[in-house]
Amino acid sequence: MRTLLILLLSVPLVLCGHLPKKYLLDSYLNNPVVKNFMEYVRIDTSKEENLELAVDFWKRKAQELELDFNVYYPGGLPICVLSWYGTEPSLPSIMLNSHMDVVLVEEEDWTYPPFSAHMDENGDIFGRGTQDDKDVGIMYIEAIREMKKNGIKLKRTFHMTLMPDEERGSRRGMVKFIETKEFKDMNIGFALDEGPVSPGDNIEIMYQDKRPWQMKFTTRGPSGHGSSILASTAMEKLFKLIGVIGTYRDEQKAIMRASDPLDFGAYTSVNVNYVRGGAVPNVIPGRVELIVDTRLAVSTDVTEMSNRVSSWLQEAGNDTSVEFVRKILVSKATKIDDSNPYWVIMRDAVQELGIQIDPIVCPATTDMINIRQLGIPALGFAFKPRTEIRYHAANEYLNVDNLLHGVTVYVAVLSRLGNMSDVAYVQ
């Protein structure tokens, strides 16, 4: 089995050296896996009203593979669950999670339309969600298709879950779903989720998320004519606030530069992502809003961070307030040692394909922060090596070879996970 998988992984690379590029691109465009990926990317799920189009897409995929299909609305948005039942359904199941939603785009910054799924001459498929993370959903379903086609039987049930709002904080998706009877009845023993892009040859596996503290600051002051110089205006306070936050950001940048490049948990990321205030050129605004997105270092104490935020308010001056858009105090880690049988299976399956893995703390936050809080082990994983990191940026892309190789890698991983006997995981 191992030899066959390694050969399958190497076939496209061998072909690339001997066949005309146009022939290869035409063959890729006619590949059913690539067609499904492109169709999915072309659904503009940056808009909530288009989520139902994605639901229809996944319903059709479930019907093609004779998978059980359900859609739930615990928070008012659709959550799809495609289930492939194992031969021993009493065993804890495996969750294969990804999200349907993608972030908004600024179309003028893109070389190709962001929902066109355009493939260039290098085999790069461009589109919002190609890296984050419609690719993972397609890799899951195509790996299941391959296993079913080959008559592979698994002991454990797989539940493929598609979430609607991971990019907006999961409040109407995973956060609500884990409270439902439907989720509890799934009896999840282990979860896989989206994984990061890897610029090098190694693959990174995420075992813990950083804690998001997203804050909306509001500064207030006197308004008046734009020709006057008033004291303690909202903008004046805003400048002070940005200054102290910028100083803290510089401190964290220094920690980042001094740390291992893959130690994302060593520092707190700090970014001013949104400023709003003022209406017309000649009126001093009496109110300005500022949104700051921070992801706390693993070692950061929440009391210490709360005190720091309070000091920022004091520095800005009276009539400055803060409202938390998102604030998570605890983020549990999944064990990445021999005491975790799921980790051992994942590690061995990937390494036997000749792929080296690096366990990391997720530099951002995923749906798995909610799953791990329940004591369920969860890892973020995807096959995206030698790829420029473009998630949430213009010209997001995935190379077609990575898409197809990723399916083969998931076959190796899922076939092992699905045939695990009953095991115990202790948080």
Q: In the chain, what are the domain boundaries?
A: 2-209+331-418, 211-327
Measure the CA–CA gap between 382 and 410, rounded to whole angstroms: 8
Determine the pLDDT at residue 109.
97
Residue 101 bears catalytic tag: yes
Measure the CA–CA gap between 126 and 122, rounded to whole angstroms: 11
Residue 296's DSSP bridge partners are 211
Determine the pLDDT at residue 339.
95
Determine the pLDDT at residue 12.
46
CATH number of 211-327: 3.40.50.300, 3.30.70.360, 3.60.70.12, 2.50.20.10?
Answer: 3.30.70.360
Phi, psi torsion values for 73, nearest 5 degrees: -130, 55
CATH class of 2-209+331-418: alpha beta
Determine the pLDDT at residue 21.
65
Quick one: tokens of 134? 């419609």
**DSSP codes of every residue in 324-345:** EEEE---------STT-HHHHH
Tell me which of 101, 146, 236, 401 is the catalytic residue. 101
Phi, psi torsion values for 143, nearest 5 degrees: -70, -40
What is the per-residue pLDDT across 284-326, written as a single tens digit (0 to 9) for each?
A: 999 999 999 999 999 999 999 999 999 999 999 999 999 999 9
Phi, psi torsion values for 369, nearest 5 degrees: -60, -30
Tell me which of 166, 167, 367, 401 is the catalytic residue. 166
Question: In Å, how far are 243, 280, 288, 400 from 232, measured between CA atoms?
Answer: 15, 20, 13, 56
Residue 251 bears catalytic tag: no
Determine the pLDDT at residue 11.
44
Measure the CA–CA gap between 301 and 203, rounded to whole angstroms: 30
What is the per-residue pLDDT across 334-356, written as a single tens digit (0 to 9) for each?
A: 999 999 999 999 999 999 999 99
The 3-state DSSP class for residue 372 equals helix
Q: What is the pTM of this model?
A: 0.92
The stretches in the chain having pLDDT less than 50 are 2-19
